[in-house]
Amino acid sequence: MLDSVIQTIRAATRDRKHLATSVRPHQFEGVTEITVLADDHPRLLSAIAGACAVAGANIVDAQIYTTTDGLALDTIFVGREFPDDADERRRGQRITALIEKTLTGAERLPEQVEQKKGAAKGRLKAFQIPTDVIVNNAWSDRFTVVEVSGLDRPALLYDLTRALSDLNLNIASAHVATFGERAVDVFYVTDLFGHKVENRSREKTIREHLIRAFDGPPRDTARKPAA
């Protein structure tokens, strides 16, 4: 990973810009490493996750760093699609091109992401996995740890990171895992002042908001009265 970080920083320095990407396939691990250097903002990981969802790339892990001069260095690992490194590198470059278009405002994601989610709804109905959200302050000295688990689906990380941003939470690190059809996403977060979230009411709001983002709004099953 360090090689990709150095490569990305060098590219940004050479081009005198605050947006650079790099791609590095890992054949043995079966993943491709994508590093993004950009101006830090709360929805950066969400934009990256959305671009990956639209490109059909499955994120298996994410690591997030913020530099002292206000830049974010995000590294994501996506599942490989091609056995050959050259083919996989070209695929990664297509993904990074979409990420760059998204971050510069040349591409809008919400409609495209919704199309991806809609195409998968029929397949997801066959599985019943309950959604669970844990908010824990004992698992880390510096961060509140939020663990979200449930039925895996396209654009899940995009929806969850958007929900956390809506709650004014900073994501310091994210770890993504899948076990069959079950997804387990873990986020290390703070409030906007860099503190843990230790208010019980606030913790309850986080759980409710993330469950809604995971499952969608509750359906009104009550029958309407006859006219």
Question: Given this model, what pLDDT does residue 223 score?
Answer: 42
Quick: pLDDT tens for 140-171: 999 999 999 999 888 899 999 999 999 999 99
Give the residue with greater pLDDT, 106 vs 115: 106
Q: How confident is the model at residue 120 (pLDDT cuts 50, 70, 90)?
A: low
Residue 116 has pLDDT above 80, yes or no: no
Residue type at 18? Answer: H
pLDDT band at 222 (very low <50, low <70, confident <90, very high): very low
**Above 70 in pLDDT, residue 42?**
yes
- Banded model confidence at residue 12, pLDDT cuts 50, 70, 90: low
Going by pLDDT thresholds of 50, 70 and 90, the confidence category of residue 227 is very low
Q: Which amino acid is at 85?
A: D
Average pLDDT of the chain, as a whole number: 85
Instruction: Tell me the whole-structure pTM to 2 decimals.
Output: 0.80
**Class of residue 124 by CB neighbours under 10 A (exposed 0-12, middle 13-18, buried 19+):** middle
**pLDDT, tens digit (0-9, with 9 covering 90-100), for 57-85:** 988 888 888 777 778 888 999 999 999 99
Copy the structure tokens of residue 161: 């990171």
Sign of the CA dihedral running 10, 55, 180, 188: positive
Per the CB < 8 A criterion, the answer to whether 117 and 155 are in contact is: yes
Residue 224, pLDDT above cutoff 70: no
pLDDT of the residue at 109 = 79
Cα gap 23→35, rounded to integer Å: 7
Q: What is the pLDDT of residue 77?
A: 93
Provide the pLDDT for residue 221. 43
Q: Mind listing the domains of the chain with CATH numbers?
A: 2-109 (3.30.70.260), 128-215 (3.30.70.260)
Please check whether residue 113 is in contact with residue 55, taking contact to mean a CB–CB distance below 8 angstroms.
Answer: no
The mean pLDDT of 188-203, rounded to a whole number, is 95
Percent of the residues in the chain that have a pLDDT greater than 70, as a whole number: 83
Identify which has the larger pLDDT, 119 or 216: 216
